[in-house]
Amino acid sequence: MFADSLGLRWNYHLLARPGYVILLTNYTGSTGFGEKFAQDIQGDPLRGPGEELNEAVDAAIKTFPFVDATRLAAGGASYGAHLANWLEATTTRYKCLVSHSGEVDLQAQWGSSDGNYHRELASGGPPWGDSQVWRDQSPIHYAANFRTPMLLSVGEHDFRVPINNTLENWSALQRMKVPSKLLVWPDENHHITNGEDSRYFYQEVLGWFGTWIK
């Protein structure tokens, strides 16, 4: 659910300023459409919503002639970054991606996050159980498919999605020789709240977009 308001995360008005078309979607798991819709993500934390993102892009391209289908980018923070990492693993349709505070390894995230019970709900049980979600929907297991240039960002005081996930993603991107850049914020947590840090972050994001989809 996105409100028509200004904020540090994400400031989609600022992202649109250079002339980009911004597509915001309410994929399965979003709030505002009833409890069942919000809970249907359980057992399908990334694949289903990721496919819905691509379907939304297809619909936007079909509906709005001013959308340039040859210059697409995607990005997100927190769960949105989980999905950005999933797009890295499953498609090459986007020219570049941005991932702030995103998990790439579901098992590592379970073991290091300050909140792991809801991870078990989303994945159908603990990592040592019978659920295949822990592997089948963990982007790191598809690192051989990583091709899309990616900007990574993380706060060193992030306890929700600790830095180990971002460093693992960075290592995989570097190992696969994918153009990538890593931003580490020494004084930030799960959110970038310092004004100057936020200013620099958006400069980097818009610079990344400008490099790949200008």
Please tell me the distance from the alpha carbon of residue 132 to that of residue 20, in angstroms, as a whole number.
38
Closest CA to 73 of 27, 21, 143, 26: 21
What is the amino acid identity at position 16? Answer: A
**What does the longest C-alpha to C-alpha distance in the chain come to?**
48
Quickly count helices (H) and strands (E) in the chain: 9, 4
Please tell me the distance from the alpha carbon of residue 123 to that of residue 92, in angstroms, as a whole number.
25
Q: 183 by DSSP, 3-state: which? A: strand
* Cβ–Cβ < 8 Å for 153, 124: no
Closest CA to 214 of 75, 68, 81, 77: 68
Closest CA to 105 of 137, 138, 144, 150: 138
Mode of pairing for the β-strands spanning 180-185 and 73-77: unpaired
What residues act catalytically?
A: 78, 158, 190
